[in-house]
Amino acid sequence: MMDNKTILQIVMLQSAIDLCCQPDDFRSLQNKVVISSENAEARKYLTLPFFCHLVSYGNNIVASVDTSVVDIVDSYINKFEVGHCFETPNLYVLNQALVKHGMQVCFMEEYFLPDLEQLTLLPCDYDLKILKPDDLTDLYITE
């Protein structure tokens, strides 16, 4: 049976693979900068290695970066509080430093994990059915 702790362990493990660090790095109270590299086990849609990728699960920031910006990113993530590193105007500081390397701040994503203790089954007046590819073939028409 899945619980909140297990879900968090799974996502931290995948993030560690993606960022080239250890899962426990996300539990540390100290920020960490690691060198990004390709990894066949990383999520397939990621373009690795990262130039600068910051991840936080609330305790600290793990930054997976190119060797050319280690000092810049280390200085940045240790200058502001963890949550404030992901907000403007502080992001402009990082952006100005990255522009000098031909890069800039781009995607900002927030992911949320379910709290299994808060989820409840809701009533539904409709029959639910899982559709498979063969169930959808009649919906495609050629003209």
Condensed to tens digits (0 to 9), the pLDDT of residues 65-107 reads 999 999 999 999 999 999 999 999 999 999 999 999 999 999 9
CA distances to 35, 71, 110, 126, 127 from 107, rounded to whole Å, are 19, 22, 10, 38, 39
- What value, to the nearest 5°, has the Cα angle with vertex 95 and ends 94 and 99? 120
CA-wise closest residue to 77 among 113, 30, 42, 143: 30
Residue pLDDT, tens place only, 96-130: 999 999 999 999 899 999 999 999 999 999 999 99
Length of the chain equals: 143
Give Cα separations from 130 to 87, 123, 127, 133, 135 (angstroms).
Answer: 40, 18, 10, 10, 9
pLDDT score for 142:
79
Percentage of residues in the chain having pLDDT higher than 90: 92
Question: Could you tell me the pTM of the whole model?
Answer: 0.84
Q: pLDDT at residue 143 above 80?
A: no
* Residue 3 confidence class, pLDDT cut points 50, 70, 90: very high
